[in-house]
Amino acid sequence: MRTSIGLNSNALSRYPHIPSVYIYFSFIAWGAYFYISNRYILNICYAYSPAIENPRRYFQHGTTLTPKCLIPLLSLSHQPNAKRSGPVAPGVAFITGGARGLGNAVAVSFAKEGARAVVLVDIQDAATFEAGKKECLAIHADVTKEDEMEKAVAEAVAKFGRIDYAANFAGVTGRAGLVSDMSLDEYQKTMAVNSSGVIISTKWELRQMMKQSSIDVEEGRVPQSGSIVNCASVNSVQANVGSAAYTASKHAVVGITKVASLEGRNHNIRVNAISPGFLYTKMIDEALKRHGDLGEAHWKTYEARQGRQAAFSEIGDAAVLLSTPRMSLVNGHNLVIDNGFTINESNT
């Protein structure tokens, strides 16, 4: 007599209380076969529920076994059994406002993470930049002047062939003042750099990236012809008294970023923003000095609310990672980097 040991409807009818161990063994055997034949890691686990009194109801008739009483705890994932290696950002980085302050910190982070070349675009005449054997090109250009930014992009491409990552960090704090006392001229100066400068830079960066092929990406990831990160601020998601021009300009950066991300995604280009918390930059120092003791008191309040002072490299590293294909699904996002500043209203 030949006996079948397969799990089917007849077997389940005769033996309504089949131990769950057989079910586990069947999945272990299948998983081992899958792993050996495909050399992938199988991350799947099932649990049998003893609360089900009649398991027969939870299996389909016929030869196909459908364990509806099993609860999937982890999904099946196909992951190559290998670690990442090599540089994080091996392409060409193009940074506006890169000669000093936060923009320079972003440039340094790109160099440390393997960028083959870094382009600094700034109105500063002298740029201090130590990249350690990384090729660096400094271009004197004003982000508020479209012809200069067009030439800056063209110069970078002429030297390095492409622009893989763009980081738009040129900006000003502007003169603080109440809305009721604000000079329209001061307002427009702040908007010109922080808002118009971002849209002009993004425009020419996008045009170049749309012409490019993708950089090398991991198997299974979508191509990336380019990535842009715009510098916003915590003032893009909140406001404080006396900062109308600056706050308006940073809200505009987020709006520009969102629109550009939708326009760029069909070309395999991602556009995101980052909103740093409070850093003691040269611009902040100049602004505090203009306001004397009141400015110093405000700074101490902001720092207490943030919990600690931020490091420039923390912002730079975030900008680099956001630029890489590892963040391939992140598009049109405003990444707030503030140690909880914007959610802490107690100032403690």
Active site residues: 246, 250
Helix, strand, coil abundance in the chain, percent, nearest 5:
45, 15, 40
Max CA distance (Å), the chain: 100
What is the radius of gyration, based on Cα positions, of the chain?
28
How far apart are the C-alpha atoms of 156 and 120, rounded to whole Å?
9
159: Cα within 13 Å, side-chain hemisphere:
17
Give the three-class secondary structure for 9: helix
Among the residues of 162-242, which ranges form H helices?
184-191, 197-209
**β-bridge partners, 183:** none
C-alpha 264, offset from chain centre: 15
Whether the Cβ atoms of residue 144 and residue 172 lie closer than 8 Å to each other: no
DSSP label of 113: T
How far apart are the C-alpha atoms of 197 and 305, rounded to whole Å?
30
How far apart are the C-alpha atoms of 45 and 72, rounded to whole Å?
6
Residue matched to tokens 């990535």:
227
How far apart are the C-alpha atoms of 312 and 45, rounded to whole Å?
43
How far apart are the C-alpha atoms of 95 and 75, rounded to whole Å?
40
Q: Phi and psi for 297 in degrees, rounded to 5?
A: -65, -40
